[in-house]
Amino acid sequence: MLSYDQRPHGRTPRGDAPLTIEQLADDLHHILRALVPTGPLVLAGHSLGRPAR
């Protein structure tokens, strides 16, 4: 099982880059490629509401 803080939720800072859905997807892509490169994979998620500003 793997879980992670999606920026800017939890303890992960927003950073200076513009925050887009594409950036969040890219973050997840890098995490999965590094930790689960061959699968199998079951991906589950939930709504996080509006990000902090």
Three-state SS sequence of the chain = CCCCCCCCCCCCCCCCCCCCHHHHHHHHHHHHHHHCCCCCCCCCCCCCCCCCC
Ramachandran class of 23: left when φ > 0, alpha when ψ lies in -120 to 50, beta otherwise: alpha
Q: What is the pLDDT of residues 2-36, one digit of tens each?
A: 787 777 766 666 677 677 888 888 988 998 899 88
The mean per-residue pLDDT over the stretch 34-53 comes to: 76
User: For the whole model, what pTM was predicted?
Assistant: 0.64
